[in-house]
């Protein structure tokens, strides 16, 4: 996880992981989408279609399934997908 790398801490650090989970689940308006087996299958298809790695294609599959039109990321790989990439 990027946060562990930026802080120089390990994902074995329960306090760090707890803080990250609290920060994420505490975001107002956040909805966590359950991944279904078909999402993983679709992600593999999207890997080839858009030249993404599996993690990015799983994000794309979930976004497309839920009707998301924009993604907040610094990952330029999403520039070649149907999502509009937003990076402040």
Q: Quick one: pLDDT at residue 36?
A: 96
CA distance 16 to 7: 9
Phi and psi at 48, nearest 5°, equal -75, -45
Rounded mean pLDDT, 55-83: 95
Average pLDDT, the chain: 92
Q: 29-56: per-residue pLDDT in tens?
A: 988 899 999 999 999 999 999 999 999 9
pTM: 0.76
CA distance 10 to 19: 13
Which two tokens mark 2? Answer: 């990027």
């Amino acid at each position: 996880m990027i946060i562990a790398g930026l802080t120089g801490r390990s994902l074995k650090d329960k306090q760090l992981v707890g803080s990250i989970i609290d920060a994420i689940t505490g975001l107002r308006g956040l909805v966590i989408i359950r991944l279904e087996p078909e999402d993983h299958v679709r992600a593999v298809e999207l890997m080839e279609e858009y030249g993404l790695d599996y993690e990015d294609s799983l994000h794309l599959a979930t976004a497309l399934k839920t009707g998301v039109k924009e993604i907040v990321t610094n990952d330029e790989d999403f520039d070649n997908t149907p999502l509009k990439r937003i990076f402040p």
